[in-house]
Amino acid sequence: MVASLDIIKEIPSKEELLIAYDTGNSVILKKKNLTEDIEYITSISLKDLTSQNTSFQSEQMEGMQYLGSGVGGSVYRLINDDGKPSNKAIKIVRTFPKYKPHSLIPFNYSNLLSTTSPKERKSYAPGGIKSMTMNRFQADFFRELRHRQLQDESTPRSIPKIYQYVEGPIGNALREEIIKEDPAGDKKYPQGTYVAIWVMEYIPCIWANDFCGKIETKRNWNSVRELNDIRYSQENFAYNEIATFVLDDLGYVMKDLKNPRNFGFRANGEVVFFDPVVIPYPSQNLDNNTALMASLIYGFGGEKKFTKAINNGTYYTMRQF
């Protein structure tokens, strides 16, 4: 998105505009404080823009079409100003900051963990510590993908294009837009909830529409052996591509890619994994804070099961987690 010179001129000299995103009702600005080297977001209502700022240029989005939600967050298809669905989707997840306010000191995760019960630590309930931890990792993952794609660094075709990324307390205009499309959004995203948001490529052929008939859907999705069948070689080739890149280049292992709701097909038939659960790996390379977070997401068998699969090579070829 590109902001006009008028808006940019209004930003103090100690700040730099990183992203401007137009939701239709307001403009979300991601800024960087050059003195303290921290990033934050704010918003400006379109009604508050002065006459000098009417030349604001962006991909005008007049609304969002609700696509679905799960423990990880909510997904919407963006609507263009002509009322037609765009080729972009927006994912909104509830999480916690990566750093303490106004600093580069990591968020005190151990303190958050110590205040939650063992039962809460096992639950993926929206707003719970486990789902928010999962979302924190996924948000970091998509933010890094966005950065790489901005730098024209190569990423596999089996990963969606990421257009924008921003995080911070949810704004009222965006929250109202969410509630308008999803009545349950009021409970999912209380006022002031900390969220991460990314705009990504819309994948048209998904589980909800039987993958547009591009692949057989009636199969045992929990069977590693069946998923590895030659009939699904296109999916497995794409998985091998993304598994290799995400581990070797980004330092994450992935899980939940057996779930048919986490991948789809472009109109041209290419397979895209758009909703992986990612965990930084290996733990010996992580700071204590991140290692503690990772331990909560690994699940039964912990990190050892991933290490074993990586060492014997099956991690790269079979969707087994």
* CATH code for position 151: 3.30.200.20
17 lies in the same domain as 148: yes
Domain count, the chain: 2
- Mapped onto helix, strand or coil, the DSSP state of residue 81 is coil
Residues 195 and 97 in one domain: yes
- Cα 141 to Cα 134, 157, 241: the distances in Å are 11, 16, 16
Can you give the pLDDT of all 321 residues of the chain as single tens digits?
333 333 333 334 444 545 555 554 454 555 555 555 555 555 444 333 332 222 222 333 457 888 888 877 899 998 887 888 899 999 999 999 887 776 667 788 888 888 888 888 888 888 889 999 999 999 999 999 999 999 888 899 999 999 989 888 888 888 888 888 887 888 889 988 999 999 999 999 999 999 999 999 999 999 999 999 999 999 999 999 999 999 999 999 999 999 999 999 999 999 999 999 999 999 999 988 899 999 999 988 899 999 999 999 999 999 999
Q: Based on the fold, state whether residues 143 and 6 are members of the same structural domain.
A: yes
Where do the H-state alpha helices sit in 249-287?
none
Vertex 75, ends 160 and 242: CA angle to 5°? 25
Q: Which of 202, 221, 242 is the last residue of a domain?
A: 202
- List Cα–Cα distances, 263 to 205, 258, 271, 274, 284, in angstroms: 9, 9, 7, 6, 30
Structural domain containing residue 277:
208-321
Tell the burial category of 9 from Cβ atoms under 10 Å away from its Cβ (0-12, 13-18, 19+).
exposed
Q: 313: part of which helix (H) or strand (E)?
A: none
The total of other beta-carbon atoms located within 10 Å of residue 53's CB is 18
Task: Please tell me whether residues 254 and 316 are part of one structural domain.
Answer: yes
The residues pairing with 201 across neighbouring beta strands, listed in sequence order, are: 88
Q: Which amino acid is at 108?
A: N
Same domain, 34 and 169: yes
| pTM attached to this predicted model | 0.79
Q: Are residues 102 and 246 in the same domain?
A: no
